[in-house]
Structure 1
């Protein structure tokens, strides 16, 4: 009862939404990592094509996010998320029948549409419309739970695939969307939009004007938008690319494969720990200053690593600190737009920000694969530092703008 009242009576629903995040991300974004071998053996899909499905998912999300955002601000999220769950189920069912690269990649367009309607930004908008001033903490907790999706679905996918094959595994995932996810989405309260400058979600009576319209002055909103987009797109280009190649970078610097793999496994716990700290203590600090710290720590570490002797302890310290920086930035990416621009039009703003961010995310794996192969570890780290430094400068300019405002 205490936990439920702490979350405005929405405790059980939030637990259900946390479960839908694990199922949604685990069955779509993370499943190809386990299915890749079977897809290669049975229908001849190489790793580039298999993970190309994720690229299509991200690009599809970028293309439809602005339009979805406008609908979410006007109608709330329940209908969109319910439709999205059905579309995800359909996409997974189509994926289970793939016979080659064309049908495989086409199914990811369907999954990408469902993903954009029910996960990604939509989940954060739901929390904002339900939780009001407590949005930042709850989003942080939700992202903490989402970080468990791979830990749950990698072994689950492997068990199902070994028992029933990859096609039936995807059918099971499709059924989860209809049997588990859809009823939870249907339990989201109906959202009554009140047009006009004083609009406020009905779940948050008495919300402050700053919370409703944000901390950025009206005449600065366009500049603030592009600074946020630049900061998070630059950091996302690195965070979605560099971690995929850390094992290779550590091996090139002198660690054995076993040592490099062991060190790389520290990334997940460090990211989760940073998100947990931000979720519990972050409300005491402004979101843009937390993001600024993460954007400073990341490039500093990438700049420093090539100049220190590579040992297991050095690599471990880099992974822990770098992953912690990425953890707080990922939370800020979801919560900073709310602090800057307010709940009024929050979904539309997230939708617009998704376009440059998802384009950067989708390009990152291939870009870093090329850099690691052609330029080597040290140059890749230097370029990573430079890209993140662009993000830091943009965020620093944003902090100055907010302070002046």
Structure 2
């Protein structure tokens, strides 16, 4: 990445920002998966409370994202990201001192503020402000790297816990925010909507890119179609994968078979993101999203209709996860293509509200579906929810074709 002239001299900074994503997501969002047993043993927190921290993180992000987005459009992302790194460090330090559910959950509120200020949408806005018309490919590459966060931080968290305990582990993560992440954020250049010395042609091209493809009178309808499409797909993508092992076991696979098949999800998602990052610019982002939103429900409907074998389950995981990988990239890049760079951060902030609320509700909803209705019914409900997202995206594609 650093050596390619296509990144306009920003290669080293983009590599640094990729590192901050791995540290940011790995030390916050993914860490409870490893910490849960120690938190239960030492301070009596059950699984629901431990993962309730993630729910607080998402809801906090939904509450503050619109205001943060408006500020990012005015002054760029550097100050926000630096403050976010400090807030994440503070939240992790408070988490290391937790004595019970109240202090534990309060720490996640602080982490959620830091997360909203420095990760989530802010990283994509930074790339849009740095890379211009190369944003889609770079966001795809960044999301590809972000997919490694769990692979890096799950074993790292476990190793640090074994050596020093969970409290010291969280202090190490807090120190990473200050020592590694903060200096990288501080290197982000100040944002200018247009270079002062840009030639007239470049100014015209930049202004065209800022306007987006949606006419002003159609923006409200387009916004709600995008929000509905990605919220519906996100409700499934943040809920169903957490219960794949249980679903496969209920359908007759052994635990060992279910585990290794479910583990195919990560590589399939990363592979789909890689393909989209390399070749996706040849297709409009909304048509790529439409394909993913069609493939997901088709797979959920097909699995209950075929005998449950290891091959059928593996095919489902590979194709369903590939669909999720494509949609996750489209979720970050489609708003830029539709609405332009002008107000991009504010638009992402507004989209965060319905999306984060559905993301936060997804694990509990699917836990109830699996427990009360079983595997086949859960897959059918998943297909129905995703079909709503597909219908919304299809309406958006037709709207753009008419325009």
* Deviations 1:23-63, CA, capped at 9 Å, x for gaps: 00000000000000000000000000000000000000000
Equivalences for 1:337-356 in 2 at 5 Å? 337-356=335-354
C-alpha distance in structure 1 between counterparts of 2:74 and 2:122, whole Å: 13
* Deviations 1:300-319, CA, capped at 9 Å, x for gaps: 11011101000000000000
Q: Is contact 2:2–2:11 with CA below 8 Å preserved after alignment?
A: no
* Deviations 1:253-292, CA, capped at 9 Å, x for gaps: 1100000001001000000000000000000000000000
C-alpha distance in structure 2 between counterparts of 1:2 and 1:179, whole Å: 22
Give the TM-score normalised by the residue count of structure 1.
0.97
Q: Is contact 1:4–1:12 with CA below 8 Å preserved after alignment?
A: no
SS at match of 1:45: coil
Equivalences for 1:103-252 in 2 at 5 Å? 103-193=103-193, 207-252=205-250
SS at match of 2:45: coil
Deviation at 1:191, TM superposition (A): 1.2
Residue 386 (1) aligns with residue 384 (2): yes
Q: Is contact 2:2–2:15 with CA below 8 Å preserved after alignment?
A: no
Q: Is contact 1:36–1:50 with CA below 8 Å preserved after alignment?
A: yes
SS at match of 1:376: helix
Deviation at 1:5, TM superposition (A): 2.0
C-alpha distance in structure 2 between counterparts of 1:207 and 1:229, whole Å: 28
Residue 99 (1) aligns with residue 93 (2): no
**Which of 362, 365, 372 is the matching residue for 2:363?**
365
* Deviations 1:146-171, CA, capped at 9 Å, x for gaps: 00000000000000000000000000
Output the aligned Cα RMSD. Answer: 1.5
SS at match of 2:3: helix
5+ long unaligned stretches in structure 1: 195-199
C-alpha distance in structure 2 between counterparts of 1:128 and 1:94, whole Å: 33
Q: Which residue of 1 aligns with 2:254?
A: 256
C-alpha distance in structure 2 between counterparts of 1:186 and 1:91, whole Å: 20
Q: Is contact 1:213–1:341 with CA below 8 Å preserved after alignment?
A: yes
Q: Which residue of 2 aligns with 1:273?
A: 271
Q: Which residue of 2 aligns with 1:26?
A: 26
Q: Which residue of 2 aligns with 1:72?
A: 72
C-alpha distance in structure 2 between counterparts of 1:96 and 1:207, whole Å: 50
Q: Is contact 1:73–1:193 with CA below 8 Å preserved after alignment?
A: no
Give the TM-score normalised by the residue count of structure 2.
0.97
Indicate how the Cα distance of structure 1 residues 73 and 251 shifts in structure 2: closer, same or farther if over 3 A, else same.
Answer: same
C-alpha distance in structure 2 between counterparts of 1:57 and 1:206, whole Å: 40
Deviation at 1:4, TM superposition (A): 4.3
Equivalences for 1:283-302 in 2 at 5 Å? 283-302=281-300
Q: Which residue of 2 aligns with 1:197?
A: none
C-alpha distance in structure 2 between counterparts of 1:265 and 1:378, whole Å: 21
Deviation at 1:2, TM superposition (A): 7.8
C-alpha distance in structure 2 between counterparts of 1:2 and 1:241, whole Å: 36
Q: Which runs of 4+ in 1 moved over 6 A?
A: none
SS at match of 1:192: coil
Q: Which residue of 1 aligns with 2:40?
A: 40
Deviation at 1:206, TM superposition (A): 5.5
SS at match of 1:98: coil
Q: Is contact 1:74–1:193 with CA below 8 Å preserved after alignment?
A: no
C-alpha distance in structure 1 between counterparts of 2:111 and 2:299, whole Å: 36
SS at match of 2:205: coil
Query: Number of matched residues?
Result: 399
Residue 336 (1) aligns with residue 347 (2): no
Q: Which residue of 2 aligns with 1:17?
A: 17
C-alpha distance in structure 1 between counterparts of 2:206 and 2:292, whole Å: 28
Deviation at 1:212, TM superposition (A): 1.2
Q: Is contact 1:60–1:109 with CA below 8 Å preserved after alignment?
A: yes
* Deviations 1:336-384, CA, capped at 9 Å, x for gaps: 0000000000000000000000000000000000000001001000000
C-alpha distance in structure 2 between counterparts of 1:45 and 1:81, whole Å: 31
